[in-house]
């Protein structure tokens, strides 16, 4: 696996540290006054302080309207379920509760959405059949 890098806007570095480190379980990498890096399931994400307004567009996927601007991770089934329990234990709200999408079809997947403290939307997916990631 070749790790990806993603930079995104936040408005509070310590709130990001608590969410990504405490709720999601990411370890902290390098940081400066205006940014902080996290190990996001083996990938590098960089949260940069920026108070510009966030887009609020949505897009239809299956039967759901989901946040258009989002990022996330595809996790093994057991890790996906563990993360759901970790998020619930932290009392964090889901934007879209965990569910199975495209049931019985190519690309069947577990999915859920949540937002970080800065309002960035995140989707976490899992496939019982990992080869189904790009099925159509």
Cα gap 120→113, rounded to integer Å: 10
- Condensed to tens digits (0 to 9), the pLDDT of residues 26-79 reads 999 999 999 999 999 999 999 999 877 666 788 788 888 888 789 999 999 999
Q: How many domains is the chain built from?
A: 2
The pLDDT tens digits of the residues spanning 70-86 come to 999 999 999 999 999 99
Same domain for 98 and 40: no
Q: Are residues 65 and 114 in the same domain?
A: yes
Q: For the whole prediction, is pTM greater than 0.75?
A: yes
Residues 11, 36 share a domain: yes
Q: 36 with 103, same domain?
A: no
Residues 80 and 129 reside in one and the same domain = yes
Categorise residue 119: left if φ over 0, alpha if ψ from -120 to 50, beta otherwise: left
Q: What range does the domain containing 116 cover?
A: 58-134
Angle of CA points 78, 91, 12, to nearest 5°: 105
Mark whether 18 and 78 lie in a shared domain: no
């Amino acid at each position: 696996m070749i790790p990806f890098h993603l930079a995104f806007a936040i408005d509070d570095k310590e709130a990001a540290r608590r969410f990504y480190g405490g709720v999601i379980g990411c370890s902290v990498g390098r940081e400066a006054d205006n940014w902080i890096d996290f190990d996001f399931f083996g990938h590098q994400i960089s949260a940069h302080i920026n108070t510009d307004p966030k887009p609020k567009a949505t897009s239809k996927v299956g039967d759901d309207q989901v946040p258009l601007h989002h990022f996330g991770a595809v996790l093994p089934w057991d890790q996906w379920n563990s993360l759901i329990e970790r998020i619930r234990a932290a009392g964090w709200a889901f934007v879209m509760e965990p569910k199975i999408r495209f049931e019985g079809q190519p690309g069947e997947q577990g999915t859920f959405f949540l937002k970080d403290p800065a309002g960035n939307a995140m989707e976490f997916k899992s496939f019982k059949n990992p080869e189904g990631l790009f099925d159509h």
